[in-house]
Chain A
Amino acid sequence: IAGITQAPTSQILAAGRRMTLRCTQDMRHNAMYWYRQDLGLGLRLIHYSNTAGTTGKGEVPDGYSVSRANTDDFPLTLASAVPSQTSVYFCASRPSPGGGYGYTFGSGTRLTVV
């Protein structure tokens, strides 16, 4: 089934540890995004990639890094986790950054930093 796969589904992580959230899509979409969702704050953009080989910072990029080595994969790395990074993380994609397309979302990763 075409779509976005995120892994892990959930994780409890000790503060200070490094963690990579995985995101893979099989739709050959050029644009990919990472959002975090927190109660009362909606979805906030962390990083994005308009095409393979390029990335950009979103609204809340501090403490996170991304890479886009190929079209399908867009991992999000927390270099040294802090409790404020406790959140639900969603990866999304669309065919291109422009052109009026909607997003396809993954099912999310629930991360708890303790």
Chain B
Amino acid sequence: SQQGEEDPQALSIQEGENATMNCSYKTSINNLQWYRQNSGRGLVHLILIRSNEREKHSGRLRVTLDTSKKSSSLLITASRAADTASYFCATDSFQGAQKLVFGQGTRLTINP
């Protein structure tokens, strides 16, 4: 079962523009995480935001979390061609075996 659902499924923008990806989830969470996957490679952890945090920054990344709406967004500012990848949100809940549940991802393409 998919906990996180990303929106949009695909996004294509020009280099230098900002890219925003959204994630919605269904159940209570401990934290929410974002990962990047370059084509054919393993996922790389980008940022983690805890349920009691509303916003977090890391370099050109900004993540927000709204637990009342069960949603999160990932903003990449001043995009670069190297940002072309798939981005996944993953939720970490208090329940069960405490493993991450991943969404289906957003495919981001940065055009030079």
Which A residues are within 8 Å of any B CB, using their own CB?
4, 31, 33, 35, 40-43, 45, 48, 50, 56, 58-59, 90, 92, 97-98, 100-108
Contact = CB atoms under 8 A, between A and B. Distances in A.
B105 to A, nearest CB: 6
Contact of B1 (A59, A92, A97, A104): A59
A56 B97 CA distance: 8
Contacts, number: 59
Contacts of B81: none
B48 A102 contact: yes
Given A42-B2, A100-B31, A33 B99 contact: yes
- Interface size bucket, B side? 20 to 34
B44 A105 contact: yes
Nearest to A42: B104
B99 A48 contact: yes
A107 B38 CA distance: 11
Contacts of A33: 99-100
